[in-house]
A = this chain, B = another copy of it.
Amino acid sequence: MSNDSTTTGKTTRKPGKRAVTVTDIARAAGVSRATVSLVLRGSPLVGANTRARVEAELRRQRYVYNRTAANLRRRTSSSIALVINDLSNPFFAEFASGVDGALGGKGYVTLLGSTGESPERQQAVLATLMEHTPSGFILSPAEGSDAAQLKQVLGAHANVLLFNRELPGADDWDFLALDNQQGAYQATRHLIERGHRDIAFFGGHDQSSSCHQRRAGYRQALDEAGIAPRAQWLVESAPNRVDAAARAGDLFAGAGHPSAAVCYNDSVALGLMLGLAARGIHPGRDFAVTGFDDISEAALATPSLTTLAVDPRERGRQAALLLLQRLDAPDAPALRTVAPVRLCVRDSSAAHAD
């Protein structure tokens, strides 16, 4: 909360070159500062004549509006904090791009914070951002975030939109989720329609909410088709390519092999395909695979990966609009929005059951 001078950057404006202010304009135009302010804010109270004189002076002196000063006086804010767990992940980068585009269009500026999946860094980043008095927060929480700690730093009353990750104890904040269950359901249905009945769910950590939901969608599709799930075909892995490749063998450990796998996400699916290839199994021909996310590699992989597109840029736009809506109605009940996902059928799921 206090200003620790060892870690706080501060830059003094170049001395002698003070910015032009309303006072300068007022003096030069022969009016009061109040009148200049009214002109700036487009008030109809100012006479056309006076207005023209002031506007000419604003241009002449290249006046730049100091919105931070105005915000202070008006007790308003024109910024939104966007806090992202991993900006180097293209999914979140696209999301951020969508958020910023939408906010910019509404006159808000985006304060960026990246947490690198560290709850500690996240606390620090949020504390810093708070000092800049944003109107609200769009937060894709770092893994292992604690709702109580977040509320401690943000204040219980803050305008917060959570994205992507379920956060127990934070259900008084708005939440924008992907339809994980429906997505996995679609993928599983798709495989069933191709004749598969021995279908694994591969990858992810079950304690993560998204994995949990995707597994639920998978189970639902099996249920509907009257297929009994097999516990040994629920394989966990870290949500990345390397670990997924290493665990491909787990699918073939017991008696009876699956002929298809619904994967937790694209990275896992790509890893599984590598692992399959290493065992002489051709994904897309001998074995059907689906992913989740539609990362850019998905369409390029060999075979190209059937997956679920989540349109992260559009999600960003949506998140921005939801938060702005919240700002207009701070006391409305918390909103839970589930964004649809879209099945993209490609070659990796072309294998038929034999």
Assess whether B1 is in contact with A132, with CB atoms less than 8 Å apart.
no
Residues of B within 8 A of A157 (CB): 14, 17
Residues of B within 8 A of A101 (CB): 114, 116
* Residue among A19, A42, A114, A159 with the highest chain B CB neighbour number at 10 A: A114
In the complex, whether A64 has a CB less than 8 A from a CB of chain B is yes
- By a CB distance below 8 angstroms, the chain B residues around A297 are 296-297, 300
**A72 — which chain B residues lie within 8 A by C-beta?**
68-69, 72
Q: How many copies does the complex hold?
A: 2
For the complex, what is the distance from the CA of A328 to the CA of B354, rounded to whole Å? Answer: 70
Q: Which residues of B contact A17 (CB under 8 A)?
A: 157
Of all chain B residues, the one with the shortest Cβ separation from A82 is B112
- Report A113-141 CB contacts with B as 1/0, cut-off 8 Å: 11010000000110011111101100000
Tell me whether B114 and A76 are in contact (CB under 8 A). no
Contact: B1 with A41, CB < 8 Å? Answer: no
Residues from chain B with Cβ under 8 Å of A7 in the complex: 105-107
Other-chain contact of A78, B9, B114, B125, B155 (Cβ < 8 Å):
B9
A59-79 with Cβ < 8 A to chain B: 59, 62-72, 74-79
A8→B78 contact, CB < 8 A: yes
CB-CB nearest in chain B for A64: B130
What 1/0 flags go to A96-108 for Cβ under 8 Å of B?
Answer: 1100110111111
Residues of B with C-beta under 8 A to A62: 155
Q: Smallest CB-CB separation from A77: which chain B residue?
A: B11
Q: Is the CB of A88 within 8 A of B3?
A: no
Asked if A49 is at the interface (CB within 8 A of a chain B CB), the reply is no
Closest residue on chain B to residue A39 by CB atoms = B2
Residue A10 CB within 8 A of the other chain:
yes
Given A3-B65, A88-B93, A101-B116, are A10 and B74 also a contact pair (CB < 8 Å)? yes
Task: Give the complex CA separation of A215 and B69 in angstroms.
Answer: 49
Question: A157 CB to closest chain B CB, in angstroms?
Answer: 6
- Nearest-neighbor residue (CB-CB) of A41 within chain B: B3
Q: Which residue of B lies closest to A114 (CB)?
A: B100
Does residue A12 face the partner (Cβ distance < 8 Å to B)? yes
Whether the Cβ atoms of B63 and A1 lie closer than 8 Å is yes
Asked if A197 CB lies within 8 Å of chain B CBs, one says no
Distance in Å: Cβ of A85 to nearest Cβ of chain B: 11
Task: Say yes or no for A58: interface residue by CB 8 A criterion.
Answer: yes
CB < 8 Å: which of B69, B76, B87, B100 contacts A97?
B87
Q: Are A66 and B96 in contact (CB under 8 A)?
A: no
Q: Is A184 an interface residue (CB 8 A)?
A: no
How far is it, in angstroms, between the C-alpha of A296 and the C-alpha of B297 when the chains are bound? Answer: 8
Is residue A238 contacting chain B, with contact meaning CB distance below 8 A? no
> Which residues on B sit within 8 Å (CB–CB) of A324?
9
- Which listed residue (B11, B19, B41) contacts A135, Cβ 8 A? B11
Q: Which residues of B contact A167 (CB under 8 A)?
A: none
* Selected A-B contacts with CB under 8 Å, 11 pairs: A1-B64, A12-B74, A14-B157, A67-B132, A82-B112, A88-B90, A93-B93, A100-B112, A100-B114, A111-B111, A297-B300
